Structure 1
Amino acid sequence: MGTSPLSSARAARAKIAERLKQTMLDAGLTGLELADRCGWHKSKSSRIARGITPPSDDDIRAWCNACGVPELAADLIAASRTADSMYVEWRQLHRDGLRQVHAKTTPLYQRTRTFRVYASNVVPGMLQTAGYATGLLRSITTFQGTPDDVERAVEARLARSRVVFEGDHGFALLLEEAVLYYRVCDDEAMANQLRALLSLMARPNVSLGIIPFEARRTVWPLEAFYAFDEGLVAVETLTAEINVSSPGEIRTYLRAFHQLSQHALRGTAARSRITRALDTLG
């Protein structure tokens, strides 16, 4: 499946470190001399140059000034921020609660024309009902130990999801059949969520496929990912959101999506699987 997004994030960070190291060498400085010029502990420049300590914006400015090339700082800071955004821990994203993340990503949802979503663990956010979202976000908040703003976060998630009903947006969504059975909320809320899926399938801008338990796989179950047009893929892991913007990696995810699509049931067959899961709720 190619290079992992985590390794790409690390590679981007290593590239920043290498550029800073080369700038130091071009200036004819040692790590100790650079640290002295910046007023740092003697080991700090070494840790930055080896990629052990990610530099802050101020660190990069001080480094470039010490090397006599302050004009390089802006480009290096921009590259560093891009590397930082590739791998962001959920605890950092959610440090002030969950609501702001939904509000922050709403513009991305609004400008995306084609969504391709693969879900192996939960119903995708843009299809979630209030009850399902409440149960899921409550469990995330409890697990992460982050501030409890679940009620406001659910409102923000539902507001962001209006793109399904408004504007010119197309949704191609793949769910592993197991998603229909995972209980992230009470039975009543789960039943309402499954009924909502049946209703959403009728929308002309929504293509929903269910990958059945018994599918003979050519692509193994993956962690959930969201492709926004062909410019960004967001991958959700237990600890972090990984944002993939490398064209080569995006092509790999879209190829995986295409192959996973070959296993999916649609139309009446997909509705039958959802109904079967609904029947287990009594």
Structure 2
Amino acid sequence: MTTDFQNARESLGARLRELRAEAGLEGKDVAARLGWQTSKVSRLQNGKQTPTRDDLTAWARAIERPDVEAELHGLLAGLDMKQRHRSWRRQLAGGHRGRQEIAVRQTEATQRIRGLEVSRVPGLFQTPQYARAIFDANAEFRGITPTTDAAVEARMRRQEALYDPDKVFRFLVCEAALYHRSCAVDVMAEQLDRLYNLVGQRRIELGIIPFGAQLRRTVPHAFWIYDRRLVIVETISEELWLTGADDIELYERAWDWLAESAEYDATARRLIGRARASLDLS
């Protein structure tokens, strides 16, 4: 749970406590009026439990303050935004390893992962040296302490899921990602060789969106869809964790439309091979 989220939840709890005290009530009085356990009242007031909209409506009525219902709902909406928006500054404060361990757990809990990458190779398909270059560059960009060895180890451990017979991976990669290079040329060559060999493997569908493809929708940004329960979107400053049905449906439609313009199998190999041949290894 992020610090931003917890701070916001504690602030909401403090407001509930303040409103109760203004009404001249004890926590046990609110619990009795609502038919709740006193422990629930305590958890809500101390920011240990996230209230629902119904909880907040009931609270406003219990303290005979229906006028604060909208205010409490607004605070809850802000709380939800804190949970959806996860700043990189906080997530990477101790380096990359912690976030990579989260990725391992998310992958373990998912049967079907769909993803779109615009300018880099998906983490699940990266070689150790390519991943190392990505982590080192990001640590320098963000001015954080590198934990590259541990982060690479976690990323490689995550890739064990590719061999799980119960999982399916469907990825779209823009052709630009085959040429954008944040690593040494020999590392890029090795990475493209790995991609080439992944095309056509069981349970892995890898589509390349060519430079000249006609698109029903332009490519917006990278995103990953975990089953039908979670979409993760990366920006420069934060990650968005989207769990709403409308959000998931929208990203599924974006993925489906872009998949129509991708090339697969032999043509995908040809595009990867062309990028590999363009490297100057002399």
TM-score normalised by the chain length of structure 2: 0.77
Q: Post-superposition shift, 1:216?
A: 1.3
Is 1:56 the counterpart of 2:2 in the alignment? no
Task: Report SS of the residue matched to 1:259.
Answer: helix
Find the aligned partners of 1:206 and 1:85 in 2 and give their Cα distance: 31
Report the counterpart of residue 111 of structure 2 in structure 1.
113
More displaced, 128-137 or 196-205? Answer: 196-205
CA distance in 2, matches of 1:242, 1:113: 21
Query: How far has the Cα of 1:196 moved from its partner?
Result: 0.4
Q: Bigger radius of gyration, 1 or 2?
A: 2
Q: Which residue pairs with 2:138 in the alignment?
A: 140
> Which of 239, 261, 264 is the equivalent residue of 2:237?
239
Residue 135 (structure 1) shift: 0.7
Determine helix, strand or coil for the equivalent of 2:12.
helix
- Decide which of 11, 14, 18 is 1:66's aligned counterpart: 18
Report the equivalent of 1:91. 89
Deviation (angstroms), 1:179: 0.3
1:153 aligns with 2:128: no
Instruction: Give the 3-state SS of the residue equivalent to 1:241 in structure 2.
Output: strand
Q: Structure 2: give runs of 5+ residues left out of the alignment.
A: 21-29, 31-39, 54-75
Matches within 5 A, 1:1-282: 56-68=8-20, 71=41, 73=45, 74-76=49-51, 82-282=80-280
| Contact 1:57/1:77 (8 A) holds in 2 | no
SS at match of 1:183: coil
> Quick one: structure 1 residues 138 and 218, their matched pair in 2 at CA, closer, same or farther if it must change by over 3 Å?
same
1:270 aligned counterpart, secondary structure = helix
User: What runs of 5+ residues in structure 1 fail to find an aligned partner?
Assistant: 1-12, 17-53
Deviations 1:11-45 (A, max 9, x none): xx9xx9xxxxxxxxxxxxxxxxxxxxxxxxxxxxx
Deviation at 1:77, TM superposition (A): 8.8
Q: Is the 8 A contact 1:60 1:76 kept in 2?
A: no
> Across the two proteins, how many residue pairs are aligned to each other?
231
- State the percentage of identical aligned residues: 29
Shift of 1:67: 1.1
Q: Distance in 2 between matches of 1:75 and 1:236?
A: 25
Alpha-carbon distance, 1:281 to partner: 1.2
- State the AA in 1 paired with 2:85: Y
Normalised by the size of structure 1, how large is the TM-score?
0.77
Moved more, 81-90 or 262-271: 81-90
In structure 2, what is the Cα distance between the partners aligned to 1:251 and 1:77? 24
Shift of 1:83: 3.1
